[in-house]
Amino acid sequence: WAADGRAIGQPDYLTRSMHLFGIETEYGITREDLDAVDPVEESMELVRAHLPGKFERRWDYRGEDPHEDARGFRVSGLQQDKEEDDFAKVDAHRPFSFHEMKSDLVLPNGARFYNDHTHPEYSTPECRTLKDLLAHDRAGERIVQRAADRRNQQLGGAHVQLYKNNTDFHGHSYGCHDNYLVSRSLPFAQLVSGLLPFLVSRQLMAGAGKVGMEAQESGFVPGPFQISQRADFMEAELGVDTMHNRPILNTRDEPHADRTKYRRLHLILGDANMCEYATALKVGTTRLVLDMLQRGEAPSLELEQPVAAIKQLSRDPDLKTTVRLKDGRTISGLAIQEEYWNVASRCCAGSDPDTDWVLREWQETLGALRQDRTQLVGKLDWVTKQWLLETFMREERLAWEDPWLASLDLEYHNVNPDRGLFLGLEAEGKTWRMTSERDIAQALVAGPSDTRGGLRGLCVRRFPEQITGMQWERVQFSGGLRARTLEMGDLFEPDAVQACAALLEAAASPADALAAWSRRRDG
């Protein structure tokens, strides 16, 4: 490591381009007019309701391989492979091809919207700033709800409801995955040891809150309130699986970029947040911890049992629980977060406006959690939900075991503005906002101008009929030749992105744009 904290020999382009992140959200879906819901078909129909007509913009799955493990090997099989095979047998009776069932869309804002078998999933475009990420995450809520509105028009009633949460209260969990571009020069073992304690305790800021406890084997057990919805479903420290034996730190090595330079950190442990503040802290603090690790900095913390710890911390909203470190010490979740803040404030302060905002708000949030968490109502989801439920319990004289509370828990996450409890608070001005309605409206129609997500959306807007295939890192146009492909595996510098966008805007055809882009890069 060099004196300035960078890995020795690390090129400057890696330092400049590292701040990229995105969120993938799987939405819970139900039909209130049916006793038994087929989530596969309902998810497919919902996505297809977004764009009536033929689905021509197919996602190219050839670049995806979930069997590659970041620990340096390729697994021969995943537990979820058998489930996928079982799904295929069940789905064989359906009159749809694989692509029709996926109903994969790349939207004009560079996002991806598709059916992840039993859940509609919205993936934001790659973002460089927290405000852009929040705007695109909120745009996703609007897009899935608009699709539900169109679907309900077809059905003749407000039957389809969507939930931005992580549990159906029947033992099933679905994910909200935050993703980060990371330099491959950072050894993966160092990434793991530095990140695990932070991730286990991150729920204190980013938990969505939940009534009761839950497991895939035993289902839902009514009971006291806890901090996180996903903590109950974490079963391993590390692993490449995502649906079984879920790991705190997912090891899938699918960079969607130049593999020699980058890796993608794909985190599946996080809750889906309604509060913009919680989303900003979740992603912003994680990004800072990754910066710390890249500089060779990390607190000296190693948990004895991370899987047990993440559950123990979640089940104590009073924040008094301590967990054991491998060196024999015990420490609270708040103290873990304070250790990480101390290091981040020393080595990262002044890097950019987002960093300074995160450091300030991170510190203030930890202080409020210690002293007066009512300051965080409308900012952190678990605090907001606990306040709502406790207020209702006092008025109705209910206990935590009352099934009414699980129903209210679910409605907190409803993205229908006429039903959602959080959205009701937001409409009353009782929540913290970083985005404006104008920001969200812009995110509905265009991606960030300084990332390749914006380029992907621009291609959809300018040349929709000529697109034959898309992945995160490339767009293929009709012609089938190399000259007909926009390669974006290392296209991360804002100046280069904007130069490419200018050529796409001005060109009469994809071929013209790609030829001009090739001349610029070669010259």
Q: Give catalytic residues, as residue numbers.
A: 116
Asked whether 261 and 255 are in contact (CB, 8 A), the reply is: no
Please provide the size of the chain in residues.
523
Please name the residues in contact with 316: beta carbons below 8 A apart, sequence gap of 6 or more: 226, 227
Burial of 53 (0-12, 13-18, 19+ CB in 10 A): exposed
Tell me if residue 225 falls in helix, strand or coil. Answer: strand
Query: In the chain, what is the straight-line distance between the N-terminal and C-terminal CA atoms, in Å?
Result: 34
Tell me if residue 348 falls in helix, strand or coil. Answer: coil
62, 55, 64, 144: which is closest to 100 by C-alpha? Answer: 55
236-239 and 247-250 as β-strands: parallel, antiparallel, unpaired?
A: parallel
For residues 203 and 209, give the distance between their C-alpha atoms in angstroms, rounded to a whole number.
9
Partner residues linked to 487 by β-bridges: 474
Asked whether 215 and 232 are in contact (CB, 8 A), the reply is: yes
Torsion, CA 242, CA 248, CA 251, CA 257, rounded to 10: 90
Tell me if residue 351 falls in helix, strand or coil. Answer: coil
For residues 358 and 463, give the distance between their C-alpha atoms in angstroms, rounded to a whole number.
39
Q: Letter for the amino acid at 492?
A: F
